[in-house]
Structure 1
Amino acid sequence: MRKLLYVLLFVGTYVVSAQTKTIENMVEFKVKNTGAFLDDANDVDGYYFFYEVDKLKKGMREFAVNILDKNLNDVAIKKFEASKKIVLADNAFNNEAIMFALFNNKEKTLTLKGFDRKANPKDDIVITLDKKVARLFNNGLRAGTLSSVLHPVKNKGFILITPNFDGKGTGYVLDFYPSNENVSPWKYEFIPSERGFHSVTPVALNDKFVVLVDVRTKGMSAKREFTTIVLNSQTGEKLFEKVYDKNDPKLITNSFISEDGKISVMGQYYEPNAKIAKAQSLGLYTEQYDEKGEVVFSKRISWQEDVSKFLPVKKNNKLKDIGYIFFHDIIKTQSGEYYGIGEQYKKTVSALGVASGILAAAGGGIQAGGYTQLTIKDVYIFKFDKDFNLADVQVFEKGKSRIQNLTDFGSPQLSAYMIKALGGFDFVYSQRDVKRDRFYANFIDYERASDKKEKKGEKRKAGFVFKTIIQDGGELTVDNIELSKESKNFRVLPAKVGYILLLEYSRKKKSSSLRLEKLNIK
C-alpha cells in the first residue's frame, strides 16, 4: 500500500538552515516506532524513538528508547531486553508519559511499557489476551490493517481498546491505565445483545470526556448503524449516547470539545432508511451537546442548497468532477470562525487489485484486498461562520495518490472512513499557532515536483512536495517544499511551529538522520 509508508522523501531546493541529528545502531526502522510530543495545538516539544539495537542470545533482543527535545538535542536514552517475538502494536504520548504496546503472538500477551519524558521507566503492565483477540492482533499487524489501540488522555493516562467476544456479537473493552498516582484506573465494557460486529473509534477526548463512534456491521450487509457514545474520562461512566437510527441515519467522522465543555460532532446526513454503506449523503451535519446529552445547537448544510453556491453539485447530490470530500480536522479560530480541512477522493478500479486477483485465481488462491482503490487528489478548505453557516470554499491543487481499499463492498464514504483510520490519506497533520491566531494544514503532494528536463523529450520525474496551507487573518496561502523520491525509508514528522522534521533511515548504515527544516513563511 503506497501510503502506509516506511517511505518518503528527500529534501529539495527550497530549504533554509537546518538542524540535524543522527541516531546510530538501529537494526530496523518502522514509521510507527517514532512519535512527537504534541500539545493541544499540535505544537511539538520533542520526539521519541523506539528501535532494536542488537540481537542477543536465547531469542532475546536489546531495544532502546531515545528522547530528543524540539531542537533535536539528546534528552535521554534507555535500553532494555525483551523477546525477539515482540512487535510494536502502537504507541502514544499524553503530555507526561509515553506508552508502548508490545505484542507477543507466541505468548498471547500485550505488554504496556511506559516511560516518562526523561525516559525513566514505569512498571510494565502485562495483559494476557484471549486467543481470538490475539489472532486479530496478529492478522492486523501482518496485513498492516491494525488501527490505533492506544489513546492518550492528557496528563492522566492511556486508554487501551480491545475486542470482546462475550456477547452474541463482537463488542469491545476500554481499559484506562493511569500514568500518575493521582488518577484511578477504570474499565468500560460493551457486550452486544444482538449479532453483529461492533468497532469503536475515539474521535475526541480530553480530561473530561471521551467521545466514541460505535459502528455496528451485520455480516456482509450494507447496513451500518452509527452511535455516538460519551464517557466521563475520569471514571469511565457512560454519560449519554446518540443513536442514529434508520429514521435519521448519520455518518459521524469528526468531533471536538470546546473550552466551555460543549461536545460537537460532525459528519454527513442521509435520507430516512438509507443504507450508509451504499447511499449518497444529502449534506454535512453538525450538532453540539452539553454534558447531559441535551442538544444545544444543530445545523445541516445541504449539498444542493448550500455547497452548490461554491462547488458544482449534480442532481444526485454528488460533487461534479470531484467525487467526495473527507474532512480531517475542524479548527476554530479566535474570531469564532470554523475551518474544515478536507481532501478530495473517488472510489476507482485498482490495476494492482485486478492483477492480484488474476494471479490469485490462476494459482487457486484467495486475493488479499480488493479490486478497488481510493484515488485521492485536491485539498478543499470549507470556511464556516460562528453559526456554522458555509461562508466559502477554497480549492488547492494536489497531485493524485492511490491506496488500495480493504474491501470492495460499501460506499466510497465508508471506504474513506476505514482508510482514514489507517492513516491512508495525504493529510499529515494540522497545527495551530495560537500566538498569531494562525493554523497550518499539512499534506504530502505526490507527483508535483517541478524537476527540469535536461534533454528534449526526457520524461519528468514524479516527485513529492510537502504542502502547507496557512490561514492568517482570514486569508489562505500555500507554501511548498519540494522533495524527491531518492529515498524509500523516509517520513515527515511534525515539528515546532514554522518547521517540519525530515527523517531518513539507512539500512546499510543502520542509522536514522533527522533534519529540522524551516517552512517558507513569515
Structure 2
Amino acid sequence: MLSTLLSTQVFSQAKLSVENVHATYLRNSGTIMERSAIKGYFFFYLSDKINRSTNEYTLQILDENVNKVIDIKFQDSKQLSLLEAAYNGSSLCFLFKNEETKTLDMKVYSIDGKLKYSYTREYDKRTEALMKQYQSVHTDEGTNQNVFDLGDKGYVSVLPVSEGKQRTYQVDYYSSTTKKQWTFNPQDEEKYSMAEYLGSTDSLIILQVFKKNRALSGAITSHLVGINFMTRKLAFDIPDDNGDEYKFVPTNITHLKEQGKIMVMGNYFQENAKIMKDHSEGIAIIEINTKGKTVSKKYNSWEMDFAKHLPVNSKGKVDNLGYLFVHKMIKKPDGKLFVVGEGYRRQVSAGGIALNALALAGGRTNAGVTKIVVTDMVMMEFDDKYNLKNASIYDKTNNTAEATAISDYNSQHAIALYLKMTGSFDYEFTTSEDDNSNFAVCFSDYVRSKEYKGKTFNSIRYNGQKFVTDKIELKSNASSMKVFPAKAGSVLILEYFKKAKKIEFRVERIG
C-alpha cells in the first residue's frame, strides 16, 4: 500500500519543483486516495528526447506532502501519447496511443511503480471515431471520457466505434488483480448509439446510452444500461419511457451500497417530448436495485417545486443563471441529499456578430453569433424522501465556455454534454468525510475587480450544520495550472512553465 511506502519519508515539505519537463498534459495527473483521505499524487511527462525516434517518459508519484516517492522512467516511440489516466485505490492505469505501431496500449502499474499488466489492441477504422474525438474535444482541462476505475477490481474503457454505417460503442474491462481482459459489444437494433459512463457498483458498469435509427433523426431515446463485469453480461437496459407517465433521462448515479440500491438523478420530460430538443419538466430521483427494477421515484418540477426556492420558469431556466447542470450528489448519513449544480446559458456574442458580418463580406469564420457562458453555482438540498427543501445560489463570474458556432445550433442538453466533455464548467471537485457528514465543493472562477483581476479557487464548505465559503487568488505566470484536493483545509497547486521546462507544486491553505 502507498501508506506503507510513504512511511519511509521522514521529512515533510509544502513545495516541490521538477525540472526537465519537455512536455506534459495536466489531464494526465491525479490524486491517490485511500477511502476519502489524500495519500499522494501522480503525473506523467516527457522527460527527455533520446534521439529522432525515441523519447524518455516519466511517471512521478508523490506523497501527500509533495515529497517524491518514486520515478518510473521508460523509453518509447516519440509517437507515443498518453490519452487518459485513472487510479483505483491499489493501482494506476494509463491508456496510450502509439502511432508507430497503430495500437492502443493499456498499462497497469502498482503503487510502488512496477508494471503489473500491459494490454494492447490495434486501432483501425472501427476506432476512427475515438481518434477524431481526442483530436477535436479532448482538452487539457477535460475529464476522463473513456477510461474509469472500478474500485480495486480494475478499469473499464467505453469507446465509440464504427462498423460500416453503424455507429455504436464498445466496453472493455481490464483487471488490475490478474491478467484478464474482455470486451462487451452491445446488440442494439438501432444504427446509431452513443454511450456515456455514469458510474459503477461492486459488480456493475452503468452507462447512459442515446440511440436513434437515422443520422439526422430527432427521434432519440435514452437508456440506462447496466453491464455486469463479473458475469460479462447485460444486467439491464431501461428505456426512457419504461411504461411511466414521463420520459426519464439519467445524468448522475450514486451507489447506495449499504442498501443494495442505485440512486439515479436526471431530467424528466412529457411522454411525447423530444428529449434532445424539448424542455424538461423538472428533476427526478429514482432508486433501482441491481437488476434494474424501480424501487422508488420522486419528481420535483420546475414550476411547482423549484420555483419555491429559485426564480425559475416552467422550462427550467433560472433568471440570470440559465439552465442547471448537475455535477455531484452527496448523500448524508441522516438520509438528506445535497446536489451540486452549475448554471449555463446562451447569450449574444458581440464579437461573433462582428466576425460573421465580416464573413458576409467575403471572409471566413467559425464564430457563432451567440456564445455559452457558465454562470453561478447552486446547492440544492433534498430530504430523505427526495423532496426539494432548499436551493441556494453562490455567485461567480459569468465565464465564456464556448464561442464557436456550436452554441448557435445545438439544444441546451447537447451543449451541456459538450461542456462536460471539454471541461468547460468551473466546478472542480468535491472532498468529503467517509460518511459525507462534512464536505467541500470546489470551483474555479475568474475575477475582474479593482482589487484583483485573475483566477481564483473557491470552496463551499459544509460543516454538518451550515455552509461557509472561502477562496484564494491564483495569479501566476505559468503556462497552465491545475488545482488538486489536499489535506483538510488545503489544496495542491500544480503550475507548468513550458518555456522553463519545469513543474512546480505547492500546498496552500484555503479558508
TM-score, scaled to structure 2 = 0.89
Counterpart for residue 98 of structure 1: 92
Whole-angstrom CA distance in 1 between matches of 2:134 and 2:350: 25
SS across alignment from 1:122: strand
SS at match of 2:24: coil
Provide the residue aligned with 1:144 in structure 2.
137
**CA deviation vs aligned residue, 1:97-120 (integer Å, no higher than 9, x gap):** 111111133542111122111111
Q: 2:186 aligns with which of 179, 186, 190?
A: 190
Tell me which residue corresponds to 1:381.
379
Match 1:242 to one of 219, 223, 238: 238
Matches within 5 A, 1:369-408: 371-404=369-402, 406=406, 408=408
Task: Give the aligned partner of residue 420 of structure 2.
Answer: 420
Q: Distance in 2 between matches of 1:372 and 1:37?
A: 40
Provide the C-alpha distance between the structure 2 equivalents of 1:362 and 1:178, rounded to a whole number of angstroms: 58
Aligned match of 1:287: 286
The change in CA–CA distance for 1:371 and 1:82 in structure 2 (over 3 A counts) is farther
User: Where does residue 7 of structure 1 map in the other structure?
Assistant: none
User: Cα 1:113–1:370, aligned 2, differ >3 Å: closer, same or farther?
Assistant: farther
In the TM superposition, residue 436 of structure 1 has moved relative to its aligned partner by 8.2
Residue 337, structure 1, aligned to residue 352, structure 2: no
Return the letter of the residue paired with 1:399.
Answer: T
CA contact (8 A) 1:167 1:192 kept: no
Instruction: Please tell me the residue identity of whatever aligns with 1:145.
Output: H
Residues 79 and 145 from structure 1, CA distance in 2 versus in 1: closer, same or farther, beyond 3 angstroms? closer
Find out whether 1:231 has 2:227 as its counterpart.
yes
SS of the residue corresponding to residue 29 of structure 1 reads strand
Change (3 A) 1:315 1:172: closer
Partner of 1:439: 439
Cα 1:315–1:366 shift into 2, 3 Å: closer
Q: Secondary structure at the match of 1:71?
A: coil
Question: How many residues in Structure 1 have an aligned counterpart in Structure 2?
Answer: 490
Secondary structure of 2:252 counterpart? strand
What letter matches 1:239 in structure 2? A
Aligned to 1:5: none
Q: In structure 1, what residue type is equivalent to 2:432?
A: R
SS class of match (1:138): helix
- Tell me how far apart the structure 2 counterparts of residues 236 and 356 of structure 1 sit (CA, whole Å): 52
Q: Structure 1-normalised TM-score?
A: 0.87
On the 8 A contact 2:170/2:183 being kept in 1, the answer is yes
Q: Which residue of 1 aligns with 2:483?
A: 492
Counterpart AA for 1:391: K
Give the structure with the higher percent strand. Answer: 2
Determine the structure 1 residue equivalent to 2:254: 256
Contact 1:168-1:192 at 8 Å conserved across structures:
no
**Cα deviations across residues 460-486 of structure 1 (Å, max 9, x unaligned)?**
x53222110011123111011122254
Counterpart of 2:30, as a letter, is: G
* 1:220 equivalenced with 2:216 (yes/no): yes
Distance between the aligned counterparts of 2:15 and 2:208, measured in 1? Answer: 41
Match of 2:6 in 1: none
76-85 vs 53-62, which moves further: 53-62
Q: Report the counterpart of residue 20 of structure 1 in structure 2.
A: 15
CA distance in 1, matches of 2:121, 2:264: 33
1:169 equivalent in alignment to 2:166: yes
Give the match for residue 303 of structure 1.
302
In structure 1, the gaps of 5 or more residues are 1-16, 453-460
Identity %: 29
Indicate the residue corresponding to 1:3 in structure 2: none
2:460 corresponds in structure 1 to 469
Aligned match of 2:3: none
The residue aligned with 1:6 is: none
Structure 1 letter corresponding to 2:330:
I
Kindly report the root-mean-square deviation, in angstroms, between the aligned alpha carbons of the 2 structures.
2.5
Structure 1 pair 481/185, CA: closer, same or farther in 2 (3 Å)? same
Distance 1:486 1:322 in 2: 31
Higher relative contact order (CA 8 A, sep 6+): 1
Which position in structure 2 is the counterpart of 1:429? Answer: 429
Correspondence for 2:8? none
1:3-152 matched pairs, under 5 angstroms: 19-39=14-34, 41=36, 43-133=37-127, 135-145=128-138, 148-152=145-149
Q: CA distance change for structure 1 residues 170 and 185 in 2, over 3 Å: closer, same or farther?
A: same
Given residue 166 of structure 2, which amino acid in structure 1 is its aligned partner? G
CA distance 1:469–1:58, shift in 2 (3 Å) = same
The 8 Å contact of residues 168 and 193 in structure 1, kept in 2 or not, is answered as no
Q: 1:348 to 1:125 in 2, by over 3 A?
A: same
For the residues of structure 2 that align with 1:470 and 1:128, how far apart are their CA atoms?
46
Counterpart-to-counterpart distance in 2, 1:252 and 1:353: 34
CA gap of 1:353–1:245, structure 2 versus 1, over 3 A, is: farther
Alpha-carbon deviation of 1:357?
A: 5.6
Q: For the Cα contact (< 8 Å) 2:146–2:159, is it kept in 1?
A: yes
Secondary structure of the structure 1 residue equivalent to 2:163? coil
Q: 1:164 to 1:315 in 2, by over 3 A?
A: closer
* Structure 1 residue identity aligned to 2:485: P
